[in-house]
Amino acid sequence: MNDAAPAPQVETIDDHARFVAWLRQVAPYVHAHRGRTFVVAFSGGLVEAGGLNRLVHDLSLLSAMGIRLVLVHGSRPQVQAQLVLKGVPARFHADVRITDSAALECAKEASGEIRLDIEAAFSQGLPATPMAHSKVRVVSGNFVTARPLGVIDGVDYALTGVVRKVDADAIKFTLANGAIVLLSPLGFSPTGEAFNLTMEDLACSVATAIKAEKLILLTETDGIRGADGELKSELSVQDAEAMLSAAAVKGDPAFNLKYAVKACKGGVARAHILPYSLDGGVLAELFTHDGVGTMVSPENLEKMREATPDDVGGVIKLIEPLEADGTLVKRPRELIEREIDRFVVLEHDGFIFGCAALYPFPREHMGELACLTVHPDYQGYGDGERLMKRIEQRARAAGITSLFVLTTRTAHFFIKRGFRPATVDDLPEARQNMYNWQRRSQVLLKQI
């Protein structure tokens, strides 16, 4: 820039800084999701409400990030409209449509129309729109075999069906070739008959069959709410099942939750229930810590666990900025790789956001708590203390009786948690020899 150039507006610098900070914040999730397979199901209500184009923009962005997508659309309001148009009465039992041959024709017409709309939306490429340069291929096909739901409680559901088999290999092959797979809620029997399926059954069966990482249900339900009316941003399968059996969730949310649980039990890592009405809901759910709907997962999502060699990259990314500003002492990368089993990590949906390490000095029954770090966006929720306690447990199990920490900026955190100031002479001899007199870290010690 030359001297005459106008000074940038403060507002511009702020905007720039916010943008960069935001992009850096989502980066770990981009890494975590790349190459994964997500099944995204959206109800016909989204199409009816005019939300298709916006959703397609978001999905093509996910596809550009290397996420493999299977889309399943619903068609309930469209089928309803066709029935009204033809003067055919709609019949339901226990909230499930009874599909006679007239209703099946309506379902086929509705699906055909929605499918074409989706394909058209993915084919847009106007310059200066989110779809410019997107080149997304969409493939549909006879991937699903169905069977009749049958007669239940004396009610014959006729051509209403359930999924019998999914051609997982064909779907995976199509995804591996870079296309998005699009499925309509119709399945075919080996005798060539068509059956009307529910979007949720189809999406859940496909997600389970292809072992997708995520099932995302975009419906009228805005997520699952507890007894106090608060939205649950995360639910374990166990808690979700307890809510269902206590009838603490009813109607559409219960229907969605039932399939979310079924998917997780069938090996899908996470199932998300989101409102389709929220513009950008899928992106917010996938790229922010709390999301916007409810995520169901087989175990508590925030996992504290022993680190594995796969975590080296995540740990380095986490501690790098703190090494750069001098909060943590710089560790050679090979050392972290070699000593990764000394670390415990906190992981959220594939993203490492906390770590700590234990370096034992067995002869002195002492151990060093090192590298305790929680990502700045997630500090203040008790995770630092949880990591510290986990290291204490590990130390006790290894016969260590006193734990020490060397810190330049975080002494009060440790003092508040039972550490006492000590001197370099109190350290094991080997550690004294390695003490960095330039850094002049404070030594804190705790009997455990």
Q: Which residues would be at the binding site for ligand COA (CB under 6 A)? A: 322, 327, 372-374, 379-385, 405, 407, 409-410, 412-413
DSSP per position, 153-179: TTEE-BTBEEEEEE-HHHHHHHHHTTP
The secondary structure of residue 231, as a DSSP letter, is: B
CA 353, CA 377: separation in Å to the nearest integer? 9
- If the CB atoms of residues 142 and 393 are measured against ligand COA, the closer one turns out to be 393
- If the CB atoms of residues 138 and 340 are measured against ligand COA, the closer one turns out to be 340
- If the CB atoms of residues 361 and 413 are measured against ligand COA, the closer one turns out to be 413
CB of 334 to ligand COA, least distance (A): 21
CA 208, CA 268: separation in Å to the nearest integer? 6
CB of 370 to ligand COA, least distance (A): 6
Encoded tokens for 337: 């790789």
CA 71, CA 182: separation in Å to the nearest integer? 5
- If the CB atoms of residues 106 and 356 are measured against ligand COA, the closer one turns out to be 356
CB of 43 to ligand COA, least distance (A): 39
What are the C-alpha distances in Å from 149 to residues 79, 152, 285, 308?
19, 8, 33, 46
Residue 331 phi/psi, 5° resolution? -110, 135
Taking the CA atoms of residue 54, residue 55, residue 60 and residue 65 in that order, the dihedral angle to the nearest 10 degrees is 110
Location of structure tokens 């039990």: 265
CB of 343 to ligand COA, least distance (A): 13
CB of 286 to ligand COA, least distance (A): 23
Q: In sequence order, which residues have a C-beta less than 8 Å from that of residue 76 and are 6 or more positions away?
A: 43, 44, 45, 97
Q: In sequence order, which residues have a C-beta less than 8 Å from that of residue 203 and are 6 or more positions away?
A: 39, 41, 72, 215, 217, 259
Residue 162 in contact with residue 189, Cβ under 8 Å?
Answer: no
Encoded tokens for 97: 């449509």
- If the CB atoms of residues 86 and 440 are measured against ligand COA, the closer one turns out to be 440
CB of 402 to ligand COA, least distance (A): 16
- If the CB atoms of residues 258 and 386 are measured against ligand COA, the closer one turns out to be 386
- If the CB atoms of residues 137 and 439 are measured against ligand COA, the closer one turns out to be 439
- If the CB atoms of residues 86 and 412 are measured against ligand COA, the closer one turns out to be 412
Residue nearest to ligand COA (CB): 384
CB of 109 to ligand COA, least distance (A): 55
Encoded tokens for 398: 């290894």
CB of 226 to ligand COA, least distance (A): 24
